[in-house]
Amino acid sequence: MLATETTYVKNLELIFLVYVKYINEAYGIGEDMDLKLLPLPALKNLFVIIKMLWQINFALWKSLSERILNWSDSQVIGDVLKDTSPYLKSYIQYSPQYDAGISELKKTLAQDSCPLKTALDKGMAHPLIKGNTLESYLILPIQRVPRYVMLLTDLINHTPPEHPDHQNLSESLRIMKEVGQKINEAILENERRMRCIEVSSLIIGGEREKDKTFEKDIFRVLILQSTVTKQCHNKTDEREIFLFNDYLVCCKILPSKKYEVRQKIELQHATAEAVEDETGTAFVIKSNLKSFVCYAKNPAEKKNCIAKINDAVNKQRIKLGLVEKPQTDLVAVWEPDSAQDYCSICKREFTVVRRRHHCRNCGLLIDGDCSRKRYPIHPNTPPVRVCDNCVPSLEKK
């Protein structure tokens, strides 16, 4: 373990002794290595975190060296690793930033007359670098935690259970695996956030303008994107559903490969339920604004949509302190226009004169004579058309 730690710490140090030094010189910053002045924000973030990681790993290397120089059969190193393990959570910060840093590096190198290219070429020619690229050094922190897990596993396998070091080594391995899991979660969340930014640029409002909702929260992430068939009044239409951690958005798919918002639902006012049908793909999305039936591409996708929507809804309601409050503001799903040709109450047939309407409370098809009254469905909402059957219950409210 000491040999790999020695190599790792030296390689992190070389990033600053060679590459950062030459990059600063190329951009006229000087040799003081003031990273604040570097005009490459994503790359600068990586260097700042690497500097912090170097300090942590240098302290670990120093402690390991002292123990191994005074080695005996009863010597232990598990306590050193255990005490250092919590600090290695700093690696969680590095991993999500890595892709952005590498992307900025490649984009900058693609430019004409690039100072960065001159600096990197000079760095690769340095005798200590031995022709290794900056990218090959920047990926080292990504590889380090899995390496620790492997090394600790090997150490434990060669340490008898009764040895005084066994317990601390086992605890260090547990913490290291936890760090590795959190790194993977951070990478996944960052990928979702980047995808969210990408998707947000494709979503436009009803007036063919970019919907500003998705620019307000930098912590918004995309959880699910799925193409479904939505049951509309008198037909079915293909729709794209975007599930964010705070919104559910149903969009019309435009020929330009962009998406026009049709329904935008706050998650605390939503839920998803399975619907029995011949295809096994139907489910209903209910909300305080509108409820509608969708058909997924297959039963597995239906199950996935329902699970992810309800999980996101539950997390949002917990976040907003609403988990104990029942969802009483969900509106009914409207019957399709093709469901029947007559009023659900008086049974008279719909005609050009006797038009079909929907009760906003129960969703049934009714004619004008059976829906003359207007009532607010929920508190602080405007009065809407309701059928005669729903009037008594609404009057009691």
Confidence grade of residue 21 (pLDDT, cut at 50, 70, 90): very high
Q: What is the largest CA-CA distance in the chain?
A: 99
Better pLDDT: 96 or 19: 19
Q: Does residue 154 register a pLDDT over 90? A: yes
Asked which of 304-308, 329-333, 356-360 is least confident by mean pLDDT, the reply is: 329-333
DSSP 51-115: HHHHHHHHHHHHHHHHHHHT--TT---HHHHHHHGGGGGGHHHHHHHHHHHHHHHHHHHTSTT-H
For residue range 310-350, what is the model confidence (pLDDT) as tens digits?
A: 999 999 999 999 887 877 778 888 888 877 899 999 999 99
DSSP reduced 3-state for 278 = coil
Instruction: Please give the DSSP secondary-structure letter assigned to residue 216.
Output: S
Q: Does residue 212 register a pLDDT over 70? A: no
For the full predicted model, state whether its pTM sits above 0.85: no
Scanning the structure block, which residue is given the tokens 């918004």?
220
Better pLDDT: 308 or 159: 308
For residue range 213-260, what is the model confidence (pLDDT) as tens digits?
A: 555 555 788 899 999 999 887 788 999 999 999 999 999 999 988 999
Percent of the chain with pLDDT over 90: 58
**Alpha carbon distance 211, 208 (integer Å):** 9
Structure tokens at 37: 């002045």
Domains of the chain: 2-194 (1.20.900.10), 203-319 (2.30.29.30), 334-397 (3.30.40.10)
- Which of these, 334, 314, 318, 336, lies nearest to 385 by C-alpha position? 334
* 390: CB partners within 8 A, 6+ apart: 359, 361, 362, 375
Question: Other C-beta atoms within 10 Å of 64: how many?
Answer: 18
